[in-house]
Structure 1
């Protein structure tokens, strides 16, 4: 089963977490939205994508079976 990533994005006067285009949570601050998005990504074992206010992707974290794991084994 393909698990859709969770995106933390600006929404109106706050921030939202969306999965598959559907809003799964809404928050007043980006920090709260990131924290909840991380929790949900871990729960669903998927990727968490964090965006800036302008929509640009800032960071991606994978909490599941990563199809492209990092090559360095530190």
Structure 2
């Protein structure tokens, strides 16, 4: 499973694969970045850590959702 991070930059937001030197995708807003990420990862299995503007982790998502290792009872 590939691991990615969504982080704020000076010019907007970026999706970067762990270990990569360049961003895979970029967008002006966080909402737009989330949409771009979902389309980019369609058909792939990946874990995405979504950061707040201050750099702390807000949440983690798994694509596709069926690949999430955590069982949910609700």
Short-chain TM bin: 0.7 to 0.9
Residue 38 (structure 1) shift:
2.6
- Superposition map of 1:1-74 within 5 A: 3-20=1-18, 21=20, 22-64=22-64, 65-66=67-68, 68-70=69-71, 72-74=72-74
Q: Secondary structure at the match of 1:62?
A: strand
CA change 1:24–1:59 in 2 (3 A) is same
Partners of 2:27 and 2:56 lie apart in 1 by: 19
User: Structure 1: 5+ residue runs without aligned partners?
Assistant: none
- Number of residue pairs matched by the alignment: 70
Higher mean alpha-carbon deviation, 40-49 vs 14-23, is at 40-49
CA change 1:41–1:63 in 2 (3 A) is same
Q: Secondary structure at the match of 2:41?
A: helix
1:10-46, Cα deviation, whole Å (9 max, x unpaired): 1112100111233111111111111112333343211
Q: Secondary structure at the match of 1:69?
A: coil
The CA RMSD measured in Å over matched residues stands at 1.9
